[in-house]
Amino acid sequence: MPESIGVVVLAELAFSASDLAQVRFAVSPMWEVAPSFRLLRSGTAHPLHRSWADQVRPRLIAAGLDRGWLSELIPPTGYVPDFLNPAPVGPAPAPEAEWEAIRASSADRVRQDLDHLARHQGGLGPRLRLLHADPRTRLAKVTDELEAYWELALAPYWARIRTMLDADVFYRARTVAEYGAHRLFNDLHASLIWDDNGLRMAHRKQPLTRETAGTGLLLIPTAFTGRGLRTRTTPPDPPQLAYQARGVGSLWQTRHAPRGDALAAVLGRSRTLLLTELETPASTTQLARRTGLSTAGVSQYLTALRDAGLVSAHRAGRSVLYTRTAAAETLLDAVVTARPGVP
């Protein structure tokens, strides 16, 4: 996953009619893993993701995930092994599908990527040397840690992130429908220009051709990649182009409080209170402390909300964090925007 930083090179990716017909969008959980992990390990107060990082970083350290396989696979800057970003199958693969694709990576692919990483980093750490020697066995340990990281750092927030990413895809798709593909590419990023059946990209370290990139194009909106473009080119997979989604700046902003009386009439006051408190993921104990409800009562209400599809649970170390689902977010937004007096 080379970064689009450094010597200014104008690369042009040509498009045939077949390539253009194979342009599609995908939301990929794995494209959020490497940049979010980097942000957490950096210890910096990121202007957009500070509130998320402040919540997650202590859990990352407590679980020891800052010292495991990912700490060697995802360096602070530069190249990240391409096998960590398999080509998404379909518009929105589940994280489990991407972990399975990583486990299925060929030994040659893994070793080639690790050799590339070693050239960038001046060598491999002890875990990656084991992975290089026995990819098939060690990839299972890598995906086990990916799963642990996902549950701790991203799963509790995925409904909110996914809503933003889906909104970006809807906006881009509408742009294509109303103005054509040229407007899509010209508006996607300042370094992209669509001209004469080709996509020109500035600020690349290496040329980009169809022979080295593969057919078609996968466009992947992301929350954590930052303002630069990120690419993955590993034929026969289509080239992947990850970009910062619209709306990242407001991703972690506190939402307006819902009209509690209206929602309480349907869900009950205690369940409504808990949904409101789940603006950020929290454990049963934390919710009891913040709401004044008993721990047993909170547990009972959360079970009811989970059965109704409004709350999901995610293990983070020894704790279980509860978070609102996309359905709950939609419900709360509808209540917030409902006009007074309209049933």
Is residue 186 pLDDT above 60, yes or no?
yes
In percent, how much of the chain has pLDDT > 70? 91
Listed residue (91, 273, 110, 115) closest to 172, CA to CA: 91
15-26 burial, b at 16+ Cβ within 10 Å, e below that, comes to beeebeeebbbb
DSSP annotation of 86? P
* Mean pLDDT score, 32-43: 94
Is residue 337 pLDDT above 90, yes or no?
no
| pLDDT tens digit sequence for 228-255 | 888 888 888 899 999 999 999 988 887 6
Is residue 5 pLDDT above 70, yes or no?
no
Question: Do 146 and 41 meet the contact criterion of CB atoms below 8 Å apart?
Answer: no
Please give the pLDDT value at position 6: 35
Please give the pLDDT value at position 272: 87
The label of the residue with tokens 């398999």 reads: 86
Q: Is the peptide bond before 236 cis (omega within 30 degrees of 0)?
A: yes
Dist CA 68 CA 38 (whole Å): 13
Please give the pLDDT value at position 256: 58
| pLDDT tens digit sequence for 60-70 | 999 999 999 99
Please give the pLDDT value at position 107: 97
Please give the pLDDT value at position 259: 56
| pLDDT tens digit sequence for 44-62 | 888 899 999 999 999 999 9
Is residue 330 pLDDT above 70, yes or no?
yes
Please give the pLDDT value at position 7: 36
The pTM of this model reads 0.80
| pLDDT tens digit sequence for 84-126 | 999 998 999 999 999 999 999 999 999 999 999 999 999 999 9
Is residue 34 pLDDT above 90, yes or no?
yes
Tell me how far apart the terminal alpha carbons of the chain are, to the nearest angstrom.
51
- Residue 224: pLDDT band (50, 70, 90) is very high
Please give the pLDDT value at position 3: 41
| pLDDT tens digit sequence for 252-288 | 887 655 555 777 778 888 888 898 888 888 889 989 9
Least reliable range by pLDDT among 3-17, 21-35, 183-197: 3-17
Average pLDDT over the chain reads 87
Q: Which residues pair with 222 in a beta bridge?
A: 244
- Residue 316: pLDDT band (50, 70, 90) is confident
Please name the residue ranges forming H helices in the chain: 17-21, 30-42, 50-62, 69-73, 95-103, 107-121, 126-133, 135-149, 158-179, 181-188, 210-213, 260-267, 269-277, 284-291, 295-307, 326-337
